Amino acid sequence: MSPGSNDTSERENAYWRANIRLLLSLLAIWFACSFGAGILLRDFLDRFMLGGYPLGFWFAQQGSIYVFIVLIFVYVVRMRQIERKFDLDD
């Protein structure tokens, strides 16, 4: 095995750790928003109104979808940064 391959392996491992860490963080946010706000905290959030609808209902129907779309854009931006950091960008 050449000395450079060990560096490559470490770099790839660090890249995948950063990738998985980002993915798990975004999934936790999505879970908290969709399951937490839409289901578990619905009764509490229904005390507040947004656009004429109870906030818990809004999160269950619209809010979690909006958060999911924002998380997709966050993922794209952060993955570009991670790929540049590990010199894996196209």
E strands within 1-90? 49-50, 53-54
Query: CB atoms < 10 A from the CB of 56, how many?
Result: 22
Q: What is the pLDDT of residue 39?
A: 87
**Number of domains into which the chain is organized:** 1
From the number of C-beta atoms within 10 Å of its C-beta (0-12, 13-18, 19+), residue 44 rates as exposed
Domain membership flag for residue 75: yes
Domain membership flag for residue 34: yes
Domain range for 12 is 3-85
Domain membership flag for residue 90: no
pTM (two decimals)? 0.79
Query: Does the pLDDT at position 6 exceed 80?
Result: no
Residues whose CB falls within 8 Å of the CB of residue 60, separated by 6 or more in sequence, listed in order: 37, 38, 39, 42
Check: CB of residue 37 under 8 Å from CB of residue 4: no
Domain membership flag for residue 25: yes
- Give the pLDDT confidence of 34-80 residue by residue, as tens digits: 888 888 888 999 999 988 999 989 888 888 899 999 999 999 999 99
Domain membership flag for residue 77: yes
Rounded to whole angstroms, the Cα distance separating 26 from 10 reads 24
Domain membership flag for residue 30: yes
Query: Does the pLDDT at position 5 exceed 70?
Result: no
